[in-house]
Structure 1
Amino acid sequence: MTTVLLPIALGIVMFGLGLTLTPADFTRIGRHPRAVFVALVCQLVLLPAVCFGLVLLFGLPPVLAVGMMLLAASPGGTTANLFSHLFRADVALNISLTAINSLISVVTLPLVVNLSLRWFDTGDPTLGLQLGKTLEVFAIVLLPVAAGMLVRARSAAIAARAEKPVRIASLVILVLVVAGTIVSNAELLAENVGRLAGITAVFCGVSLAVGFAVPRMFAVERRQALAAAFEIGMHNATLAVVIAQSVLDNVEMSLPAGVYAVLMFFFAAGFGMLVRDRRRVRPPTADVR
């Protein structure tokens, strides 16, 4: 499962993301520079700092601490785009943020993981994302996305027909990956769930709140701020699990992402309902420019 099925599962998830992307998604930053810049600062700078503070506050053991930092460094997943659609956020902006974050994470994710390994001193000198393993991260993140974009560029009709079943498959795969991780490591998870439930719940809630509140503080339009909240608050847990188990060969490090993946759907749904209810009191012309 770890060496074969997990990378394949992530490949399908990232391929599905690629089917939704066009080159315009990478250039949309020019049309919404403030929203994109604020969201990226939150995702790449503020969120790892918040996670680091939570790790110290909760006193996690070194390997679990690095697992939390790995999760914080992971970009938003395709489920963030789905939640943006469900709760009437700016889906186009969300897709653009996911695309840009996925590219940037090829550099930032290994950097955060390696710095975390040095800081928390896991006692295992073999752990780390050196050049060879960094190239693995590059391959499992970007190659499937590029393949999906290529399919869309060659035939938008085929991509449109494949997008929905691949998206459904991605959600099913995420559930199976998390369930498989939990079942196959039940004893290890049982020993650590008390440590992880609290911090992952707080991290998820804070991520969503930061992703919405900080853009609003900088006068980002409400629908765009909500898209940023889902992008920042719904990490690609599958990617974190695959890197921990397949690239770093450490199951324990994948446990924070596994627990987080279960909780994030409930937190994101509750957050979306809360914000959506507030939006309903606005007149229909509120978003007309």
Structure 2
Amino acid sequence: MDSVLTTVFLPIALGIIMFGLGLGLTAADFTRVARYPKAVVIALVCQILILPAACFGLIMLFDLPAPLAVGMMLLAASPGGTTANLYSHLFGGDVALNISLTAINSVLAVVSLPVITNFALSYFVGDGDGVGLQFDKTVQIFAIVLLPVLLGMLIKRYRGAFADRMHTPVKIASALILVAVIVGAVSAEWSNMDDYVRSVGLVTVLFSAISLALGYWAPRLMKVERGQAIASSMEIGIHNGTLAIAIAVSPALLNSSEMAIPAAMYGVVMFFTAAAAGFIFKYTTKEAAPEVVDA
């Protein structure tokens, strides 16, 4: 991918997206966890532990080439995207839980994302000097993920009216930027797209379906109410593909447009799989009989 795009446009674009996320967050979104600890813990275990393991299993099952395998693991390690809140709202999820999970995942990703990506690099590429646990690259991920969010939160806290006015325009800009990033990642590898679709197309669809199903049924099996399970499903099933692409193509990090292909393809298919899953969970599943749960 063109160096101007990767070194200038993409970091700015991702910063706008994360800034928009911060405009919708307050400190209460972190402390609200105490109201429903069970739902939060289950979702985080699924997101950080079970989902990467499931992704690794898919990679081994389909014997993906090393760059695409690393790209899939990078995608699995990425936190939920802001689109999850919208989908959760549309299909009856607990949006407050979504917002809290997004906030917490964005913080935890500073640690979990480098660890998982470093494992993938070591296992599939044999590169122990990748994103991994190197301090300087972890600091870069911190800057990419958290600093724009913190700035947005500060504006929300001290300039609430301005933040409210900017929230919708920034959200629209984020959607347009997401499309532009996906197009950029795909166009950079356009000559190889036929091979990529055959290699990783089905894997991304299956991974999306597994993510959504895991996010819903794991909480349900643990007696979490349906609205919270839908929120969990959307949070786990709709990843921040822009972050994964940014880390993949950044010259300072992975510097590989090929590793960005899984996230780019996932960014397209997830909108359809998430809509289908939301419809199924909302309209074809039944709420369990009322019982006392953590709230």
- Offset from partner CA, 1:1-22 (integer Å, 9 cap, x none): 1111111111011001000100
Shift of 1:86: 1.5
- State how far apart, in whole Å, the 2-side matches of 1:2 and 1:126 are: 21
**What is the match of residue 195 of structure 2?**
191
- State how far apart, in whole Å, the 1-side matches of 2:52 and 2:153 are: 29
Shift of 1:181: 1.3
Question: Is 1:85 equivalent to 2:97 in the alignment?
Answer: no
TM-score (norm 2): 0.92
Specify the code of the residue in structure 2 equivalent to 1:77: G
What is the count of residue pairs matched by the alignment? Answer: 283
**What is the match of residue 127 of structure 1?**
130
Unaligned stretches of 5+ residues in structure 1 = none
Question: Is 1:65 equivalent to 2:77 in the alignment?
Answer: no
4+ long deviations beyond 4 Å: 123-126
**What is the match of residue 114 of structure 2?**
110
1:162 corresponds, among 161, 166, 174, to 166
Q: Is the 8 A contact 1:188 1:252 kept in 2?
A: no
**What is the match of residue 23 of structure 1?**
27
1:275 corresponds, among 268, 276, 281, to 281
- State how far apart, in whole Å, the 2-side matches of 1:195 and 1:260 are: 13
**What is the match of residue 215 of structure 2?**
211
- State how far apart, in whole Å, the 2-side matches of 1:229 and 1:113 are: 23
- State how far apart, in whole Å, the 2-side matches of 1:243 and 1:126 are: 15
Question: Is 1:148 equivalent to 2:170 in the alignment?
Answer: no
3-state SS, counterpart of residue 130 of structure 2: coil
- State how far apart, in whole Å, the 2-side matches of 1:259 and 1:160 are: 32
Shift of 1:125: 6.2
1:252 corresponds, among 237, 247, 258, to 258
**What is the match of residue 50 of structure 1?**
54
Between stretches 71-80 and 243-252, larger displacement belongs to 243-252
- State how far apart, in whole Å, the 2-side matches of 1:116 and 1:173 are: 27
- State how far apart, in whole Å, the 2-side matches of 1:28 and 1:197 are: 38
**What is the match of residue 224 of structure 2?**
220
- Offset from partner CA, 1:68-113 (integer Å, 9 cap, x none): 0000000001011111112121001000000000100000000001
Question: Is 1:101 equivalent to 2:105 in the alignment?
Answer: yes
- State how far apart, in whole Å, the 2-side matches of 1:128 and 1:17 are: 24
Q: Is the 8 A contact 1:201 1:263 kept in 2?
A: yes
- State how far apart, in whole Å, the 1-side matches of 2:74 and 2:117 are: 6
3-state SS, counterpart of residue 3 of structure 1: helix
Q: Is the 8 A contact 2:30 2:104 kept in 1?
A: yes
TM-score (norm 1): 0.94
- Offset from partner CA, 1:27-75 (integer Å, 9 cap, x none): 1111100000000000001000000000000100111111100000000
Specify the code of the residue in structure 2 equivalent to 1:29: V
**What is the match of residue 37 of structure 1?**
41
Shift of 1:201: 0.3
- Percent same amino acid at aligned positions? 54
Between stretches 185-194 and 175-184, larger displacement belongs to 185-194
Q: Is the 8 A contact 1:216 1:225 kept in 2?
A: yes
- State how far apart, in whole Å, the 2-side matches of 1:161 and 1:4 are: 27
Unaligned stretches of 5+ residues in structure 2 = none
3-state SS, counterpart of residue 6 of structure 2: coil
3-state SS, counterpart of residue 159 of structure 1: helix
3-state SS, counterpart of residue 146 of structure 2: helix
- State how far apart, in whole Å, the 2-side matches of 1:208 and 1:76 are: 12
1:243 corresponds, among 205, 228, 247, to 247
Question: What's the C-alpha RMSD, in Å, of the aligned pairs?
Answer: 1.7
Q: Is the 8 A contact 2:73 2:120 kept in 1?
A: yes
Q: Is the 8 A contact 1:240 1:254 kept in 2?
A: yes
